[in-house]
Structure 1
Amino acid sequence: MATLALFGTDSLALPKSLQEAVEHGEVFTRGWVVELILDLIGYTPDKDLCDTKLIEPACGGGAFLGAIASRVSASCHAHGRPLTDATEAVRAFDLLDHNVEQSRTLITRALQDEGWGPADSEQIAAAWVRQGDYLLQADSDYRADYVVGNPPYIRLEDVPDDRMAAYRDACPTMSGRADIYIGFYETALRSLTPGGRLGFICADRWMRNQYGRALRRLVTRGFSMDLVLTMHDVDAFDEQVSAYPAITVISNRRQGPAVVADTTRAFDAARSRDFAAWCRSGAREQIDAEAFQAVRLPHWFPGEESWPAASPARLAMLEDLTKRFGLLEDPRTGTRVGIGVATGADKVFLTQDADAVEPDRLLPMAMVRDTTNGTLDWGGTYLVNPWSTDGDLVDLSAYPRLASYLDRHGDALRKRYVAVKQPHRWYKTIDKVDARLTRRPKLMFPDMKLTIHPVLDEGGLYPHHNLYYIVSDTWDLRVLGGLLLSRIAQAFVEAYAVRMRGGTLRFQAQYLRKIRVPDPDAIDERDRAALADAFDRRDVEAATEAALRVYGLAELPE
């Protein structure tokens, strides 16, 4: 990672702790990776680079600047221009003075090796590289045709409060627990001229996690996501780091086609040139080579929600299904995704004593352990329900046994945040309970599983908060259950969900809602029967085979 840039004249003095954090976190980009990024954004010597503007926001020791200097030199020779015409062509920043000096020395040496005189080379190096804070730069009117680099990856706790407050004020996308590199993306994007391009190698976590949401919104509303090249298994840096890197190219224009690619350990300098050539060719077909797989999508995924992560071929499939089919949750079919009740005091509100309170104040409750075998095996847990059918808390005077039961646990219940906030409603559960859900047929999904696990409740149980559920006015839930048991539904969740340790997936409502499904009336009787039968038998392969026909797919890409 390159280092955070900081103006020496900045009113916020550089604290020693931050300088040490930056120095400790310095990881520099390999030369062939730099060349690849410059090729991908189109920063090539055939252009008159003296008339373009490039920013390197965190130059470190100059990994990018050496290659940039060589390309500017070649461009000057090709277009018959003196080197001094490129004085304003590049601006690079860095936090640390020794990195500034190292970068200037590298540029001077590179230009002299290209045949330029010492005076001109030193003049260019001094003009290009500045010590300064890119996120708090005074010269904010400088517009760029290109922004390239390896933004810093610095933990928030390593940034002093006053500086972090200044960063958040300058970069609204740096919300919550955002990492510093989020601000570099925002600042760079806002500096781009129309048609300008950004090329970063950086951790790709912002594309999926919560702290990247505001940045995703900025990108999808005003820019074009042109390319994502995942390089998790590639030695992209001079040191071994666990940074989950990806090369990202974003341009200041309306969204156009987007290249999505993944690499293997075999991806190296030679293979990177093959990949760049494929990108330049504009080829529409997918490519599946030993070192990389790539596909050109007609557009990027919309919205600020988590962007999918999968192999290029599978992303192409998901994009196709997204275009052709509607969302699982759909008012037209009365299909809704929800989560079971959170009580805030399970030791009180859950019981196996069928005589604990009045019978109509008990709801049979489905727990995760009841779904293990793929069919409901109720374990006898009840929910003590303090809610009436009109959506308000019951009058305890009408239920003496319930009142006595809750009063025995009154001290614990009144200490909860929800009770402190509303003392007169001290016996409420966190979520309201709608007892009508108990009677509705529903598919239920345990929150955490290795694979998708729909279980049918014909009507009779209320789901606990570790279970998500689907109800529908239109679907035969056994048919829908077959679709959701298939590896196609699994592929949707895998692409969006965060994996836990050991490969466990979170089957939360936000991910289930990403699943695309056909209109239930469009499924022919043969496939409806096959899906329902596969669901009853818990046969994932049979469900997948039927689902492939329903979705019009020949196979499920890996």
Structure 2
Amino acid sequence: MEDSTGIPEDVVEHGEVFTRRWVVEFILDLCGYTADRDLVALRAVEPACGTGAFLGPMIERLSQSAKAYGYSLNDAGDAIRAFDLLPKNVEATRKMATAVLTAAGWDEAESEMVVSKWIATGDYLLRPAELGSVDFVIGNPPYIRLEDVPETRTLLYRAACQSMTGRADIYVGFIELGLRSLREGGRLGFIVADRWMRNQYGKQLRKMIGDGYSVDVTIQMHDVNAFEESVSAYPAVSVIRRAEQRAAVVANTTSRFGPDDAVAITEWVRGDRREPVLNDRYEISELPRWFRGEDLWPSGSPAVLALVEDLNERFYSLEDRTVGTRIGIGVATGADGVFVTRDSELVEPERLLPLSMAQDTTSGTLKPSGHYLVNPWDEGSLVDLADWPRLRRYFESQDGLLKRRNVAHRQPSRWYRTIDKVDHKLTAREKLLFPDMKMTSHPVYDPGGTYPHHNLYFIVSDTWDLKVLGGLLLSKVAEMTVGAYCVKMRGGTLRFQAQYLRRIRVPRPEDVSAKDADALAAAFEKRDTAAATEVAIRVYGLSEETASWLKSTNQVRSD
């Protein structure tokens, strides 16, 4: 069954995640939507009200404010606007809102009339221009992947929301259009998955915020029981203001975080002196500024963010031209069952390229497991199968599978190619290998002779001694940086993908003393993370306080 927007109802309902009352109150307080203010003179929008988790407390506060400032209920007719895609949600929320108002002493008929004006069935993403400028946009927008939305409506969403690129979730559009609707000084307060801060599809939204808004508060709540049901939503509370960026409040919470802590953080945010707080429930601090531009935004404790900002200011990206280093990923075949083999007699020996696999790096020393790539490439060009009869017979025996791949459909005459070309120069080069998923930073040295499989990322350099660089990348500093930027998997597994490895900051090789270079290489050879971290602290010139914090944290975990 579809609702009036053409989006299947089960998809909409699947995207509904209802927020606990105390979390709602927390967000309202952080945004300044409080009963002591003249809320009737302001305008608030709840863009996806569901059954009223946010709207109920908002109406309670508006009612108290109206009475305190001497307004009638009719005077508040323009103070709230709320939308939902599902008519049944709108009906339920209207009943709830009317009950809240009548319980507060307002006339029932008048309450019903005002509530019908406040709450409407509709798609917020396609009608924010009707609202004019507003003072607050507050809520928990739905989590629905664009691929679950009918194509016609997806096209409308993309046209309305410039930031909704790639495989974005539609909550990205709610953030963009909510921000655009704010008048100067207006605030958006959402609890939403924080993946957009660290994924490619959030690039345009991050740039938009950096160009015209202030990230006032961001609170990571991944382990907090913030919703009425258990979901893996990786939520964060963000308060973003239409204003020039000022200092940003950053907090990181644990599973112990609860209602009393929310009140304490609100008081801390409102206070004049903001000394950092660290306990077993949350850590909170103030950064002098937020990260700008479209680059990935880091996450983590305030101490992590402060260290990342410091390294970003003083050192070079791991792939900066200045340090002469390049990052890449191993070969993707599109059919590993055909292209990857351990049979050394399968085809002509010249067409077998030794592969390094993620499993070969487990010990920290590369131990090839005898896998080969059945290699159709020769210096960047596909080989002529007529020149390699054994290769031809093998590929033809597998042509049903190979020709079904998308890459073969796009180029039928090149049906036996791998997705990626093979760079034959890479095989002989020494390189550092990183398995994609790991609990700790795990660079492994390859002296040359193998080609990386697609579950491995590699680093080559024209300037660095790779064992020295390996020592830096083994350190807690490198792991902390990747952990701040990457999208973590369940259980805290880190992703050592190219986009995150590029966020690691390094000095120029010539700026590392001979003594420190030797010590880093030795630590790398011994797989001694603690020793590598000690040297890295010196190389990066970290303060005693930062060094002490870094060594005391559990940034490095055992696999």
TM-score, reference length from structure 2? 0.84
Superposed displacement of residue 78, structure 1 = 4.9
Instruction: Decide which moves more: 241-250 or 497-506.
Output: 497-506
Could you tell me how far apart the structure 1 residues matched to 2:412 and 2:81 are? Answer: 60
Alignment-derived partner of residue 222 in structure 2: 232
Do structure 1's residue 198 and structure 2's residue 183 form an aligned pair? no
The AA in structure 1 aligned to 2:504 is I
Q: CA-to-partner distance for each residue in 1:349-385, whole Å, 9 max, x for gaps?
A: 75663895475x6654433343333223344555565
Superposed displacement of residue 55, structure 1 = 0.8
Instruction: Decide which moves more: 317-326 or 18-27.
Output: 18-27
Superposed displacement of residue 438, structure 1 = 2.9
Q: CA-to-partner distance for each residue in 1:186-206, whole Å, 9 max, x for gaps?
A: 331221112221111233333
Q: Matches of residues 118-129 of structure 1 in structure 2 within 5 Å?
A: 121-129=111-119
Instruction: Decide which moves more: 536-545 or 436-445.
Output: 436-445
Could you tell me how far apart the structure 1 residues matched to 2:362 and 2:231 are? Answer: 39
Superposed displacement of residue 65, structure 1 = 3.0
Q: CA-to-partner distance for each residue in 1:289-316, whole Å, 9 max, x for gaps?
A: 3432112223333444543332333233
CA RMSD, aligned part only? 3.5
Could you tell me how far apart the structure 1 residues matched to 2:197 and 2:48 are? Answer: 21
Superposed displacement of residue 134, structure 1 = 1.9
C-alpha change, 1:59 and 1:444, in structure 2 (3 Å) is closer
Alignment-derived partner of residue 477 in structure 1: 466
Q: Matches of residues 97-136 of structure 1 in structure 2 within 5 Å?
A: 97=87, 99-111=89-101, 121-136=111-126
Q: Matches of residues 398-477 of structure 1 in structure 2 within 5 Å?
A: 400=387, 403-411=388-396, 412=398, 415=403, 417-419=406-408, 421-422=410-411, 425=414, 428-477=417-466
Contact 1:366 1:461 in 2 (8 A): yes
Superposed displacement of residue 156, structure 1 = 5.8
Alignment-derived partner of residue 76 in structure 2: 86
C-alpha change, 1:329 and 1:313, in structure 2 (3 Å) is same
Question: How many positions carry a matched residue from both structures?
Answer: 541
Larger radius of gyration: 1
C-alpha change, 1:367 and 1:37, in structure 2 (3 Å) is closer
Do structure 1's residue 257 and structure 2's residue 247 form an aligned pair? yes
C-alpha change, 1:234 and 1:371, in structure 2 (3 Å) is closer
The AA in structure 2 aligned to 1:409 is Y
Instruction: Decide which moves more: 502-511 or 324-333.
Output: 502-511
Identical counterparts, % of pairs: 56
Contact 1:363 1:435 in 2 (8 A): no
C-alpha change, 1:430 and 1:22, in structure 2 (3 Å) is closer
Instruction: Decide which moves more: 329-338 or 215-224.
Output: 215-224
Give unpaired runs (5+ residues) of structure 1: 1-5, 7-11
SS in 1 for 2:136: strand
Could you tell me how far apart the structure 1 residues matched to 2:236 and 2:151 are? Answer: 29
SS in 1 for 2:137: strand
Q: Matches of residues 365-404 of structure 1 in structure 2 within 5 Å?
A: 365-383=355-373, 386-389=376-379, 391-393=380-382, 400=387, 403-404=388-389
TM-score, reference length from structure 1? 0.84
The AA in structure 2 aligned to 1:94 is D
Instruction: Decide which moves more: 343-352 or 37-46.
Output: 343-352
SS in 2 for 1:270: helix
Could you tell me how far apart the structure 2 residues matched to 1:364 and 1:22 are? Answer: 49
Alignment-derived partner of residue 527 in structure 2: 538
- Select the residue among 28, 42, 51 that pairs with 2:32: 42
Alignment-derived partner of residue 3 in structure 1: none
C-alpha change, 1:356 and 1:136, in structure 2 (3 Å) is closer
Could you tell me how far apart the structure 2 residues matched to 1:300 and 1:66 are? Answer: 33
Superposed displacement of residue 534, structure 1 = 0.6
SS in 1 for 2:50: coil
The AA in structure 2 aligned to 1:203 is A
Could you tell me how far apart the structure 2 residues matched to 1:448 and 1:275 are? Answer: 34
Could you tell me how far apart the structure 1 residues matched to 2:82 and 2:301 are? Answer: 35
Alignment-derived partner of residue 328 in structure 2: 338
Q: CA-to-partner distance for each residue in 1:456-492, whole Å, 9 max, x for gaps?
A: 2233333333322111122121111111111221222
